[in-house]
Amino acid sequence: MGTERIIWEVSILKISSSENTIYKVTRQIVLLSISETKLFSNFEEALAQLKMWSE
């Protein structure tokens, strides 16, 4: 019996408007239809979250 390895997919998206910019960091397990998203106004904080979830 084979077992599938569960892998988190992690992404960062920059969303800009004329008023502000936010960074959306998402991780998801597509196979299980599970996701978690966090929003940041600071790029460095968003990047730190991305790196933490990528470990």
* 53-41-13-9 Cα dihedral, nearest 10 degrees: 10
- Complete DSSP assignment for 23-44: EEEEEEEGGGTEEEEEEESSHH
pLDDT at 2: 61
pTM of the model as a whole: 0.84
pLDDT at 51: 96
pLDDT by residue (tens digit) across 26-44? 999 988 899 999 999 999 9
**At 9, is the pLDDT very low, low, confident or very high (cuts 50, 70, 90)?**
very high
Question: Alpha carbon 4 to chain centroid distance?
Answer: 22
Query: What would the mean pLDDT of 20-29 be, rounded to a whole number?
Result: 97
- Averaged pLDDT score across all residues of the chain: 93
